[in-house]
Amino acid sequence: MTAPEIASGVAARARAWHLERRHLIVAGTILIAALIPIAAQSFVLFQLTMVMVYGLAILGLNILTGFNGQFSLGHSAFYGIGAYTAALMTHLWGVNYLLTLPAAGAVCFVIGFLFGLPALRLQNLYLALATFALAVAMPQILKFHGLEGLTGGVQGLVVDEPDPPSFLPMINADQWLYYLTLIVTIVMFVLAANLVRSRSGRAILAIRDNPIAASAMGINSALYKTLTFGLSALYTGIAGALGAFAVQFVAPDSFSFLLSVSFLVGLVIGGVGSIPGCLFGGLFVLYVPNIANSISTGLAGAVYGVILLAVIFIMPAGAAGFVRYVLARVTGAGRSSA
């Protein structure tokens, strides 16, 4: 065999091994996640539920920004719409909580799709401003006194934590919500991974990489961009609904622009364009502010900023890029591809 053939053989084997290993890691993670409620206290369980919720919301943002190249500072608004949809449906109309998840997704899809239409004309920072307007407007609209009867105004709404189903008598409400979130997260992540590998997914990526070449190849750029906007909002909306059940409360100021910034930080830290990275982003968004606070209460913000800077200096491509780099080094495949 010639040298290139050997090299490609090694690379192929490394890739196969990498693939198997990846499946093992995913299966192992799911197994551990499924076993956690046996040992963990309910506060830890709540935190982990929120990690998954943020991970889902960040995945929504990633679909739009990471895969389609459209900026958004407005995902806090979609998250808020999802949360309020769930709160309104269960609180005011007494709808079963399981139905609120698809409803929140559908509402956000429609709003995201509609918002995607004007967004077609805007690029980069101008799109950032338009979505930013959405983020700033959302808490104000929720507080608006004309809608107070519906949204509860500044006071917000109380959301009941769903009861575990009667055929599962041994788990409590916190554990049930954790499992529900876990199932939804797994399903949504698998769907996203499949989407990216599909024909539509390739079209979405092509628009990001080269919009002109993409439309020259017959991709309906406008349609795909608006659909991606809707889909992205759908993910974040479902995350919002789950988040509302976990927090058991919705209020306008929880869905401010700062939440959008958190999503963005999670996206970059986890890895732009990486699906498993979103969960790492969720971990970062939930835990790092607490860690910073425990290091120094007075300078919590400064510590947070320093951690943030350290992470982007050490891992410029996010956690996912870092893991890829380390794996490539360990398996030796890095030498042929890097």
Partner 1 sequence: MELLISQIVSGLATGGVYACMALAIVMIYQAIDHLNFAQGEMAMFSTFIAWQLIQWGLPYWVAFAMSAAVSFAGGIVIERVLFKPLHNASILSNLVGFIALFSILNSSAGYIWDYTIKTFPTPFGHKPLFGGLVDTHAVGMISVTVVLLGLLYSFFRFTRLGLAMRAAAANPESSRLVGIRVGWMTALGWAMASAIGAVAGMMIAPVVFLEPNMMLGVLLYGFAGAVLGGLSSPAGAVIGGFMVGVMENLAGTFIPYVGRELKLTLALIMIVAVLMVRPSGIFGRRVVSRV
Q: Does 11 participate in binding partner 1 (rule CB under 8 A)?
A: no
Please state the closest distance from residue 329 (CB atom) to partner 1, in A. Answer: 21
Please state the closest distance from residue 321 (CB atom) to partner 1, in A. Answer: 11
Q: Does 121 participate in binding partner 1 (rule CB under 8 A)?
A: yes
Q: Does 249 participate in binding partner 1 (rule CB under 8 A)?
A: no
Q: Is the sign of the CA dihedral 125, 131, 133, 139 positive or negative? A: negative
Rounded CA-CA distance 117/137 in Å is 18
Q: Is 71 left (phi over 0), alpha (psi -120 to 50) or beta?
A: beta
- Please name the residue ranges forming H helices in the chain: 3-39, 42-62, 75-91, 97-119, 124-143, 148-151, 173-197, 199-209, 211-216, 221-247, 257-270, 277-295, 300-314, 318-331, 334-337
Q: Is 206 left (phi over 0), alpha (psi -120 to 50) or beta?
A: alpha
- The strand pair at 157-158 and 249-250 is best described as antiparallel
Contacting range for partner 1; rule: CB under 8 A; set: 42-50, 121-129, 167-175, 197-205: 121-129
Please state the closest distance from residue 336 (CB atom) to partner 1, in A. Answer: 24
The SS3 call for residue 168 is: coil
Q: Does 218 participate in binding partner 1 (rule CB under 8 A)?
A: no
Name, in order, each residue with C-beta under 8 angstroms of 131's C-beta and a sequence gap of 6 or more.
Answer: 71, 72, 73, 74, 75, 115, 119, 260
Q: Which of 117, 111, 119, 114 is nearest to 237 (CA)?
A: 111
Q: Is the sign of the CA dihedral 248, 51, 254, 298 positive or negative? A: positive
What the block records as the tokens of 236 is: 């974040």
Residue (51 or 61) nearer to partner 1, CB? 61
Q: Is 165 left (phi over 0), alpha (psi -120 to 50) or beta?
A: beta
Please state the closest distance from residue 243 (CB atom) to partner 1, in A. Answer: 22
Q: Does 170 participate in binding partner 1 (rule CB under 8 A)?
A: no
The SS3 call for residue 296 is: coil
Beta bridge partners of 157: 250
Q: Does 130 participate in binding partner 1 (rule CB under 8 A)?
A: yes
Contacting range for partner 1; rule: CB under 8 A; set: 32-40, 163-171, 198-206, 257-265: 257-265
Q: Does 295 participate in binding partner 1 (rule CB under 8 A)?
A: no
Q: Does 58 participate in binding partner 1 (rule CB under 8 A)?
A: no
Residue (39 or 212) nearer to partner 1, CB? 212
Report the residue from 17, 144, 249, 287 that binds partner 1 according to the rule CB under 8 A: 144
Q: Is the sign of the CA dihedral 248, 148, 261, 323 positive or negative? A: positive
Per-residue contact track with partner 1, 59 to 78, x per CB under 8 A?
A: ------x-------------
Report the residue from 25, 31, 137, 326 that binds partner 1 according to the rule CB under 8 A: 137
- Please report which helix (H) or strand (E) contains residue 249, including its range: strand 249-250
Q: Does 154 participate in binding partner 1 (rule CB under 8 A)?
A: no
Report the residue from 52, 88, 108, 267 that binds partner 1 according to the rule CB under 8 A: 267
Residue (182 or 251) nearer to partner 1, CB? 251
Please state the closest distance from residue 308 (CB atom) to partner 1, in A. Answer: 4
Q: Does 274 participate in binding partner 1 (rule CB under 8 A)?
A: no
Report the residue from 306, 329, 335, 336 that binds partner 1 according to the rule CB under 8 A: 306
Report the residue from 7, 16, 24, 302 that binds partner 1 according to the rule CB under 8 A: 302
Q: Does 272 participate in binding partner 1 (rule CB under 8 A)?
A: yes
Q: Does 39 participate in binding partner 1 (rule CB under 8 A)?
A: no
Give the binding site for partner 1 (CB under 8 A): 65, 118, 121-123, 125-126, 128-130, 132-133, 136-137, 140-141, 143-146, 212, 261, 264-265, 267-269, 272, 298-306, 308-309, 312-313, 316
